[in-house]
Structure formats: C-alpha cells, structure tokens
C-alpha cells in the first residue's frame, strides 16, 4: 500500500474537518475555538460540542458508504455498483424504520438496519442470478426494483405515521446528519471498524475479483465464501451508516471512482483510501449543506445526488 | 505429426501433472455440459480438445481450473481427487488461460501477470520482490516485457493472450489450460502466440490442454487429441490415430473426406509456425 497516498488522505480529511468546524449558521474563528475564553470563546465551545459529533458522524458514514461501494464494485466487476443503487441502503432504511416504529431502542437500529441491508442484498442478488451466476445488467435492474419497493414501504409508513414518527421516516428517506450525538458516534464506530477490517482484509482477493469471478476461482479463491463475506461486510457498513444518517446516495459510487482515477485500481490501496476520501467528501458536503442556505440546511442526500447522478450518467455512457 | 515423433511427448520427462477423468458430469449455467466425460492426459503432454460448439470443451477446462464444480464422476490430478485438494494448492499447479477477459477496470499488464503469484503468497497479501522478478522473467519469455507498465485493457488481442500466457508461466503451474488461444487472432499474431507457447512449453515441459477449433493445429501441436460430442468423449488417443475423417465426421457432423465441400477443413490453408524448440 502506498503510505504517501494514505497520509495525503488523512491530511485532506483533517482539512475538511477544520473547515466543517468553522462554517455553519454561526462562523467560528480558530482562535476562539482554541482559547475557549470570553463570550465568543464560550459560544465556540458550545458550537464545537454540537458540530464535533456531527463531523465525526459525517466522517464515519461517508467512509462506510464509500468503502462498501468500492468493495462491491470490485466484487461485481462493475463501476456502477453502489449500496444505494443496489438497494442495500433502502433495505437498511426499512429495517431501521421498522425497528423505530416497533418502538425498539435506537441502539438496536444499526442491527435492524444491517438485517434490512443484508436481506436486501440477498433479494437483489437472488433476482439478478441467472443460470447460477450474477448477471450484472440484471443486478442494476434488481436494485431499481428493490429501491422502488423500499420507497413504497417507507412512504406507506410515512403516511400512516404521525408526529415524531413521521419526522423519523422523513429522516431515513432523505438522509441527514443533523441528529448527531456522541452516543450515536460511539455506537456506529464498532460496526464501521468491523466492516472495514473485514473488507480491507479481503482486498487482495478483491483484486482477483475485479478481473472476474472465474479469474479469482482459477487463482485459488473460495469465491462463494468471499462473496458472502464481502456482501455481509458491505451490508454491515451500509446498515450502520443508514441507521444514523438515513439514505445518502451516490457516495459509494462517486468516491471509489475518483480515488481510482488518482491511485489506480489496486484494492489494497483503493479500499482504505476510499474510506478516507468518503469521510472527507461527506464532512465537506455537510459543511456546504449547512453553510450554503444558512440558517436553513440543504439536505445532504440532495447534495450527494446532485454530484453523483451526473457521474452515474457519464459512467453509464462509457460502459459498453 | 505422430506422437512418437514429438520429442516432448516421450513418457517420463515429467511425472507430475497428469490428469484423469472418469464419468465426469458438470453444468454450465442451468444446462448440463458434461455428461459422463472420460479423459486421460499424461504429464508433459500437449492435448488438443476438439469438438463442435457446446460439446463441453470449455466446461472441461473450467472444471479442471475449479471455476465450475464437479457434479458427478471423478477427476484425478496426479492420482489424487481434484475435489479433495485445497483450492490454493491446485491453483499453484494448474493455470487457466481464459479465451477472452473483458477488463472493466484499468490494470497494468505487470499487475495482471503478478496475479499469477497470488496462490503462492500467504493468504493473498502483498507480492514479494521475488514475485516481481518472476513476473518480469515470465513477461520476457513471452515477449511482453515492454508492455509491463501499459494498461492491459488497451492491449491488442494477441498481446493480451501473451500477457495471460506470461501469467501462467509466472504461476509456475505444471498444467496449462488454454481456451481457444488462437481464436480471433490475425495470422501474424496467431503465429507469434503459437511460437511463444511452443517455446515456453519446451522449456517448462508443462502439461497443456488446448481447446481449439483449428484441426490442423491440433495435428501439428498436440501429441494427444480428445474428441468431444455432447459432453462425452467419443475418441481420445495419439493425434494420428484420432484425427481420422471418420472420427471427425462423427464429432462435427460435417464431411471431412477429400470429396466434400471446397471449404472442407482439411483443405484449409493455415500458416505453419516454425516449431523449432
């Protein structure tokens, strides 16, 4: 792995975090933040305690989604694979929303979202299977079907829910980082770490998959096992991200693509750098969404979709 | 060319890398592709696998490469059941060169060749400097070392086949499975590929299973020929004994006598490689 690229990624992430601390409805100066004294200093501390968890949540969610997208792209040998487009995010949102409607503790929601994401992955893979193997065109169509179905479920739940529950449904559908708390960040962290560790450990095998599943099998990879492990880990990351931030699309599509053009397609570099770049993107995008229409907030999912959809169209045109 | 004249088919040059299949069945997709196939290929032999489209040639290679599972019957590799051997172990000893690989993501030719070292590493981690050295030696042997830093998806069909052959070489396998390696190549690239294959085979004494539609090539290159039809072997043995018009007519359902169509296969004029080991 290229250490310099990793260091550069960390620096960019730090820069984005610093920016995100500073901007928003109220602008902070770094001097106020560091000194923390006087009236402006106390405001700074207060805002930092609000913005800190939000930035940490944005970084973890962005990293999880980007890493899940990068791993799925290599596994399926398809640059269009993304947890949002494959319906995994939608399944996660339905799982989390279902748990919330059933009155379960918010601490359960990542697990419920993971179950939803895993079920969605299985269903989509099942629909896309033709003659014993995953057909890639069918996979994207199956993702479309799954997304339509999950949207219908969420909209249906939204229409019967009222008050707080309706607001929660809207949150899962639109995606938001506004409700970040230190507790949420702490709950998300182990899920993110576990999923990331599993995928990064599989990165050399994913290199063989990115040339083809047959290629991986002929080079000694237990392909069925690797597919299961990668699908589950990607579902775990997606579920964790969606449980606390709702459905934020296109991060898993955008980030690996951008990283690939800079660092090449060696998964041993691409996966960890995608995590860092996804974190950077979402921290920066969240800062923009807070600052652009302040004091109102632009929905983060709208921003990532505005960036991601044109890229998706461009990739589609280039795909033979 | 008769088997006895082929210097490489003489028994005992190599005693590892022999393959035996009995009553092998396997499916490709949902349809059965092998329906009780028998095959025996000796160590160091070049065996050509002939048969009409859909006769199971590629499926046989995929089963031997462990890309497709064995559903019935038995395959022995050096006397041991292929199924029972660990996948990584067989991947070190059996190299698969697919007919064509559609590369979606950019990958340097060198990195593609380095993938041949993957089964040798510990747990598919990073390649060692020794792996790089082996990959470059293999690329030189296949005359693609100048392409090492190029994106493999931008290479010509002939160049890409030689890159994959270099990978099989870097894999240090005893058995090479080549799926229609000359299909779609123009005469010059075909010749270059075959000369490279013949040269590296001569150096390594590998067992080669070659799927092809080029019947004259099978006669020139192979010491042994397997004729497949509908997932079964209808004839196998020394090339001179198997490549009779009677057998070929049975396999392909097309006339192979000298009185047939002006386009009949025997009259096909194909460039002959200068096969001097």
ipTM attached to this prediction: 0.85
CB-based contact B98 A264, cutoff 8 Å: no
| Interface-testing mutation among A218, A226, A265, A274, with chain B (most B C-beta atoms within 10 A) | A218
Residue B51 near residue B227, CB atoms below 8 Å: yes
Find chain B residues with C-beta within 8 A of A218's C-beta. 65-67, 91, 94-96, 98
Could you tell me where the beta strands, DSSP code E, fall in B114-212? 175-179, 207-211
* pLDDT over 80 at B143, yes or no: yes
For residue A230, what pLDDT is reported?
93
Helices A88-101 and A223-245 cross at an angle (nearest 10°) of 50
Find the mean pLDDT for residues B99-119. Answer: 92
R_g (Cα) of chain A, nearest Å? 19
For residue A75, what pLDDT is reported?
93
As a residue count, chain A comes to 320
- Least confident range from A141-155, A284-298, B95-109, B161-175: namely A284-298
Torsion angle of the four alpha carbons B4, B6, B7, B12, in this order, in degrees rounded to the nearest 10: -60
Per-residue confidence band for B158, with pLDDT thresholds at 50, 70 and 90: confident
A149 to chain B nearest CA, in Å?
29
Query: How far is Cα of residue B167 from the mean position of the Cα atoms in its chain?
Result: 13
- Least confident range from A251-265, B9-23, B120-134, B194-208: namely B9-23
For residue B268, what pLDDT is reported?
44
* pLDDT over 70 at B123, yes or no: no
| Helix (H) / strand (E) containing B25 | strand B19-28
Half-sphere exposure of A144 (CA within 13 A, CB side): 7
Residue A64 near residue A236, CB atoms below 8 Å: no
Average pLDDT, chain B: 84
Q: How much is the pTM? A: 0.87
B241 to chain A nearest CA, in Å?
32
A17 to chain B nearest CA, in Å?
32
Query: B216 has which bridge partners?
Result: none
| Interface-testing mutation among B59, B70, B124, with chain A (most A C-beta atoms within 10 A) | B124
Find chain B residues with C-beta within 8 A of A212's C-beta. 98, 101-102
| Interface-testing mutation among A205, A208, A220, with chain B (most B C-beta atoms within 10 A) | A220
Strands B207-211, B224-229: parallel, antiparallel or unpaired by DSSP?
Answer: unpaired
Closest CA to B94 of B110, B75, B122: B75
Residue A137 near residue A145, CB atoms below 8 Å: no
Residue A278 near residue A206, CB atoms below 8 Å: no
Q: Give the residue from chain A lying closest to B90, CA to CA.
A: A220
For residue B16, what pLDDT is reported?
82
| Helix (H) / strand (E) containing B80 | strand B80-81
- Rounded to an integer, what distance in angstroms lies between the CA atom of residue B179 and that of residue B157? 14
Cα A107–A271–B164 angle (5° rounding)? 140
Q: Residue A214 contacts by C-beta under 8 Å, 6 or more apart in sequence?
A: B62, B65, B67, B96, B98
Task: For the beta carbon of residue B39, count every other beta carbon within 10 angstroms.
Answer: 21
Closest CA to A201 of A265, A121, A276, A267: A267
A7 to chain B nearest CA, in Å?
20
Cis peptide before A278 (omega within 30 of 0): no
| Helix (H) / strand (E) containing B37 | strand B31-41
Only one residue has tokens 């396997």, namely B26
b/e burial code for range A220-245 (CB count within 10 A of at least 16 → b): bbbbeebbebbbbbbbbbbbbbbbbb
- Least confident range from A72-86, A130-144, B259-273: namely B259-273
pLDDT tens by residue, B62-92: 999 999 999 999 999 998 999 999 999 999 9
Closest CA to A75 of A151, A6, A133: A133
For residue A218, what pLDDT is reported?
95
Nearest residue, CB atoms, B98 vs list A205, A210, A214: A214
Per-residue confidence band for B136, with pLDDT thresholds at 50, 70 and 90: very high
Interface of A with B (CB under 8 A): 1, 74, 77-79, 130-133, 204-205, 207-208, 210-212, 214-215, 217-222, 260, 264-266, 268
- Least confident range from A22-36, B123-137, B173-187: namely A22-36
- Rounded to an integer, what distance in angstroms lies between the CA atom of residue A168 and that of residue A164? 6
Q: Residue A225 contacts by C-beta under 8 Å, 6 or more apart in sequence?
A: none
Higher-confidence position of A147 and A139: A147
């Amino acid at each position: 792995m290229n250490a310099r690229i990793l260091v550069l990624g960390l620096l960019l992430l730090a820069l984005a975090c610093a920016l995100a601390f500073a901007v928003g409805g109220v602008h902070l100066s770094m001097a106020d933040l560091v000194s923390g004294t006087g009236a402006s200093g106390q405001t700074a501390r207060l805002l930092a305690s609000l913005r800190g968890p939000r930035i940490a949540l944005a970084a973890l969610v962005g990293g999880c989604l980007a890493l899940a997208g990068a791993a799925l792209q290599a596994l399926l040998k398809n640059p269009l694979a993304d947890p949002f487009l494959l319906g995994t995010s939608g399944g996660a949102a339905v799982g989390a929303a279902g748990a919330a409607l059933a009155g379960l503790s918010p601490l359960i929601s990542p697990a419920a979202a993971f179950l939803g994401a895993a079920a969605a992955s299985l269903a989509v893979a099942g629909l896309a299977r033709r003659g014993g193997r995953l057909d890639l065109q069918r996979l994207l169509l199956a993702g479309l079907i799954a997304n339509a179905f999950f949207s219908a479920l969420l909209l249906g739940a939204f229409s019967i829910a009222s008050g707080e529950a309706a607001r929660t449904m809207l949150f899962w559908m639109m995606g938001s980082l506004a409700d970040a708390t230190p507790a949420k960040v702490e709950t998300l962290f182990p899920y993110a770490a576990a999923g990331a560790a599993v995928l990064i450990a599989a990165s050399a095998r994913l290199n063989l998959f990115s040339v083809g599943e047959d290629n991986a099998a002929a080079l000694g990879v237990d392909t069925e096992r690797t597919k299961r492990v990668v699908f589950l880990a990607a579902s775990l990351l997606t579920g964790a991200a969606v449980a606390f931030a709702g459905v934020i699309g296109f991060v898993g599509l955008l980030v690996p693509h951008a990283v690939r053009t800079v660092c090449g397609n060696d998964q041993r570099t691409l996966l960890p750098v995608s995590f860092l770049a996804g974190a950077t993107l979402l921290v920066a995008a969240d800062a923009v969404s807070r600052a652009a229409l302040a004091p109102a907030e632009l929905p983060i999912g709208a921003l990532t979709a505005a960036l991601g959809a044109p890229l998706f169209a461009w990739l589609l045109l280039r795909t033979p | 060319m008769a088997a006895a004249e082929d210097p490489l088919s003489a028994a005992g040059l190599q005693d590892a890398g022999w393959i035996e299949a009995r009553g092998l069945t396997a499916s490709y997709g949902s349809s059965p592709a092998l329906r009780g196939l028998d095959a025996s290929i000796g160590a160091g032999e070049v065996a050509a696998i002939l048969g009409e489209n859909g006769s199971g040639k590629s499926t046989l290679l995929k089963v031997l490469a462990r890309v497709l599972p064995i559903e019935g019957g038995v395959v022995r590799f050096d006397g041991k059941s292929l199924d029972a051997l660990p996948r990584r172990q067989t991947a070190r000893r059996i190299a698969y060169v697919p007919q064509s690989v559609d590369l979606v993501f950019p990958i340097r030719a060198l990195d593609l060749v380095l993938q041949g070292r993957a089964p040798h590493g510990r747990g598919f981690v990073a390649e060692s400097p020794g792996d790089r050295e082996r990959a470059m030696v293999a690329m030189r042997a296949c005359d693609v070392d100048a392409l090492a830093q190029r994106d493999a998806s931008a290479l010509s069909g002939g160049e890409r086949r030689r890159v994959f052959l270099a990978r099989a070489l870097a894999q240090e396998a005893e058995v090479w499975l080549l799926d229609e390696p000359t299909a779609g190549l123009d005469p010059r690239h075909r010749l270059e590929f075959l000369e490279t294959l013949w040269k590296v085979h001569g150096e390594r004494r590998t067992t080669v299973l070659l799927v092809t539609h080029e019947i004259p090539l099978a006669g020139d290159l192979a010491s042994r020929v397997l004729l497949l039809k509908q997932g079964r072997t209808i004839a196998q043995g020394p090339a001179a004994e198997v490549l009779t018009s009677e057998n070929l007519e049975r396999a392909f359902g097309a006339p192979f006598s000298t009185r047939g169509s002006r386009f009949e296969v025997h009259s096909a004029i194909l460039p002959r490689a200068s096969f001097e080991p």
